Amino acid sequence: MAMGEASWLAEEIRGLLLSAGWKVPHSTAIPEDMSANAVEKLHAQPLGVTIITKKSSDKDKPGDPESILANLLSKSFGTVARSWDASFSDNFLRVIILQKP
């Protein structure tokens, strides 16, 4: 995605989450020249959309916000990667938007 497309998409997702009652900060741009190693440290896939949460369970519970978000985004993008970061708090998730695959 071009930088403008990613920023626009991030703000669209933010707006939808805010309207659903989530607390969502403004998006932060990822530098275009970020190395693959730096992207990996973010626990993100090198292309497309990645949702990162604390839990590492392979089984989603019905109604989990992250699984609902992943399913909705998958309907628009075809695939959405999911990753885990044990340092996150239980009620925190991060959406990273990089170039289109």
Output 101 or 20, whichever has higher pLDDT. Answer: 20
| Helix H or strand E encompassing 82 | strand 81-84
The residues with which 84 forms a beta bridge, in sequence order, are 53
Indicate if the alpha-carbon torsion angle 73, 93, 54, 1 is positive or negative: positive
Q: In the numeric block, which tokens belong to residue 1?
A: 């995605």
Q: In the numeric block, which tokens belong to residue 39?
A: 């992207």
Say what the pTM is. Answer: 0.78
Q: What pLDDT score was predicted for residue 79?
A: 82
pLDDT above 70 for 90: yes
Domain ranges for the chain: 3-97
Report d(CA 99, CA 92) in Å as an integer. 23
How do residues 44-66 score in pLDDT, each as one tens digit?
888 888 999 887 655 667 677 78
